[in-house]
């Protein structure tokens, strides 16, 4: 029983690591949302199942309820984030490349172009 729990915990941790790598490496917002929601949902299920195998019977019911809540809420949150990106594609498109040098900023700071304020 302990070996199965340890395998589930390590597999869940591996899926969390894959999710983190996916969020850091993927280019667009929708791919990052996909990596964050799908892999973390499976990783959480594996970690909690490993914890269920190691917990007493009274704690197992609470942990199984946690799995149900994660399965319901994590994909829903990812869907809402993806939908927000689709409705406002330019506003959410932030590309972060940790390997690229930081570009010099303007002296006045980052200001969006638009109509001049009245008054």
The 10s digit of each residue's pLDDT in 41-50 is 899 999 999 9
Domain membership of residue 110 (yes or no) is no
d(CA 32, CA 7): 27
d(CA 75, CA 44): 12
d(CA 54, CA 14): 19
Burial 24-62 (b: 16+ CB within 10 A, else e): eeeeebbebbbbbbbbbbbbbbbbbbbbbbbeeeeebee
Domain membership of residue 11 (yes or no) is yes
Domain membership of residue 13 (yes or no) is yes
Q: Which domain holds residue 52?
A: 2-87
pTM as predicted = 0.66
Domain membership of residue 49 (yes or no) is yes
The 10s digit of each residue's pLDDT in 90-114 is 665 555 555 666 666 665 555 555 5
The 10s digit of each residue's pLDDT in 63-100 is 889 889 988 988 888 888 888 877 776 665 555 555 66
Domain membership of residue 108 (yes or no) is no
Domain membership of residue 68 (yes or no) is yes
């Amino acid at each position: 029983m302990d070996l199965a729990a340890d395998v589930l915990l390590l597999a869940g941790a591996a899926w969390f690591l894959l999710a983190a790598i996916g969020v850091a490496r993927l280019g667009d917002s929708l791919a990052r949302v996909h990596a964050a929601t799908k892999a973390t949902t499976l990783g959480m299920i594996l970690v909690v199942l490993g914890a269920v195998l190691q917990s007493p019977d009274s704690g197992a019911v609470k942990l199984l309820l946690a799995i149900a809540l994660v399965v319901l809420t994590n994909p829903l949150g990812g869907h809402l984030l993806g939908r927000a990106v689709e409705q406002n594609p330019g506003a959410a498109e932030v590309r972060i490349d940790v390997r690229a040098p930081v570009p010099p900023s303007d002296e006045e700071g980052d200001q969006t172009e638009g109509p001049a304020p009245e008054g």
